[in-house]
Amino acid sequence: MRAKNKRLTHLRLFSRNIPAKGFSLLLLFFFKAPCFGQNLPYLPPELKSVFESEIPVSIPRPVATGKFRKLPAGDGFVWIAEASKVLEKGNHLAFKMNFDATLREKEVALIAIRARTVNFPIDSSDKQRPGQIRIHVAERENLGKTALYHLAKIGKNWGWYYHPFRSAKSIDSEKGVVRFSFDLQKQAIEIEEVRLYTAPPGFDMSRLPMMETGYQGREPDAPWRKHAEKRITQFRTGKLQIKITDSLGQPVPGSKIKVRMQRHAFGFGSTFKSKYLLEDDLNAQKYRNTFDELFSCLVPVPSLIPRHSPNMHSGNYAKKQLQGLQRVMEWAQGKEMSMRGHTLVWGNLQPWSNELAKAGQKEDILAFLNQHLHYVLSQTRGFINEWDAINHPIRFQKDLRDLFGEKIYEQLLDEQKRATDSALIINEALFDNQRENSFYEFMVKLQSSNGPKADGIGFQSHFTTHNLRGMEDLWRRYQRFSPLANRMVVTEYDLVCNDDQLHADYLRDILTLTFSHPKMTGFINWGFWAGEHWKPEGALFRKDWKARPAVKVWRDLVKKNWWTEAEIRTNQKGEAQINRAFYGVYEIEYEFGDEPILIHHTPDKKLILIKAN
């Protein structure tokens, strides 16, 4: 009954000055297409609602960025948040709702909001953008202890926005709070109800509903696909020419050659945990074999992040992280895999660097980073040819520039350049247009300075169903940053998503688009198995090793469509040629050869000479 009264009340509120004719049209439209039609879907009975009220009764005081108002609705009310200004840093127009239930780390929960946007923000091209609410689930007295930090996009019609999540941190009983912020852009959003549900331990998150969503360019006949395929042929394949001569240097005609690709030159990769080379149970064996089958590039994580070096962390944690690193590198090298290092410097202040800053020991931060630099480079020399040199240079709260000034990243990059010949990448996450613009301005300034230049740009790519970039938008981003460096790489890909088809489709498309860009050198999954993944719903394999549909996408593209195997014979000159061979490592079997040999097919190699016995 209350919902029906609310609809009539809102109809009166927003129709008060409409002429009779217009009012009749509005009534006809209203009943043909109710704007309150979206209901909260079925939720499993194990879920527990933890809010005592639907929405607070008292309105927060106005702030510099806007104000809240209360609108009557039937026998209740709704709130309207009116954001008139956007601050460069922080969110002030917000309200909080406490909860007393316990929320354990990695346990499942669901947040739900019934809302609509009534005044839309306008972007630079005069197009309406959806409304936005920032949702922050945390500890009341320590907002830095965050279980969820998420952006909800709100449309023009009343409806439920809901988001299942796995808690990033544990929130103890009687300490939880959810903060809803609205001054991310100039907008007005009405809020009717909010809910937070917790699930019992071990609850399967795939049982929870997902919002229907998609992305631009998903269609099978989307025009970008043809252009991408042409670029892949142009930039990722070339003539593989082989010449076989005998022991006297004479050509061997008619020799049968079997050509089998082993690894891609392109870094189709993932993170790798060293413990799975130190252990030998069934999971360890499956982990190693799966990695060996699917990937060409390995990132040992978290072994190489700052403060995992000896003497830089209390207890045995650092030594445990570094244990087995040498074995991992030798394993990867023996299998002709390339390797990336993550990371030499973390720009955003971490708990350890924050502690030193608060204690007035900021110079110790640089001392630690310097020790880390020289230790990990000495340990990995000859194995790792590309590093995330500076990770997250753009601040979330504070970064190294707040302590040491704008030139600090140039100074650190200069030290790195003098210490290694490996490619040095600046790695950043571009969650929204504002962050993208900040990173672009940062890179323009860095690359145009008189100091050292970064070799490449890394695009951290952590996605949820609500921040998916369309293919045109991704390509625009790639093209925008392309002139600033010689190489680019997708460094940290995952899509947290219970919709298996969407999960697979997006991997198919972002992988294809990325591989087609001539300056891209790699695509790194930030984990592949849910049993060892920071966000299990983003993994390719479930914890029981059941392959999600995205695995077939990966195999079909990386190991089939973009893979070269052939049997050919040499001509009278002892030469054989494959016209469109993907660049990579090949195993060659040929007549008169005792054992197969490995060759590296790269754009700069025009003819590969094999001397038969």
pTM of this prediction? 0.79
> What pLDDT, on a 0 to 100 scale, did the predictor assign at position 9?
31
Closest CA to 465 of 220, 211, 216, 218: 211
Are 84 and 186 a contacting pair, CB within 8 Å? Answer: yes
- In order, the DSSP letters of 112-155 are EEEEEEEE--B-TTS-B--EEEEEEEEETTEEEEEEEEEEEEE-
Domains of the chain: 2-24+32-205 (2.60.120.260), 300-454 (3.20.20.80)
Residue 445: both structure tokens together: 């300034």
Tokens describing residue 596: 């197969």
CA-wise closest residue to 116 among 14, 220, 28, 213: 14
| Cα–Cα distance for residue pair 466/597, rounded to 1 Å | 48
CA–CA separation, 266 vs 296, rounded Å?
Answer: 8
Q: What is the pLDDT of residue 311?
A: 56
Strand 131-139 versus strand 142-154 pairing type: antiparallel
Non-local (6+) Cβ contacts of 326 within 8 A are: 379
Report how far residue 52's alpha carbon sits from residue 97's, in angstroms, rounded to the nearest whole number: 9
Q: How many CB atoms lie within 10 A of CB 261?
A: 21
CA distance between the termini of the chain:
90
| Segment 581-595, tens digit of pLDDT | 999 999 999 987 778
- Name the 3-class secondary structure at 436: helix
d(Cα 164, Cα 236) in Å, to the nearest integer? 39
Rg (CA), the chain: 28
* Predicted local distance difference test score (pLDDT) of residue 90: 73
Largest CA distance in the chain: 100
Task: Render pLDDT for 143-178 as a digit per residue (tens, 0 to 9).
Answer: 889 999 988 889 888 889 998 999 989 999 999 999
What stretch of H or E contains 577?
A: strand 575-582
> Could you give the CA distance from residue 476 to residue 464 in angstroms, rounded to a whole number?
20
pLDDT attached to residue 423: 98
Q: Which residues of the chain have pLDDT under 70?
A: 1-38, 122-127, 308-322, 396
From the number of C-beta atoms within 10 Å of its C-beta (0-12, 13-18, 19+), residue 57 rates as: exposed
Q: Which residues, 6+ apart, have CB-to-CB distance to 95 below 8 Å?
A: 56, 60, 68, 79, 179, 180
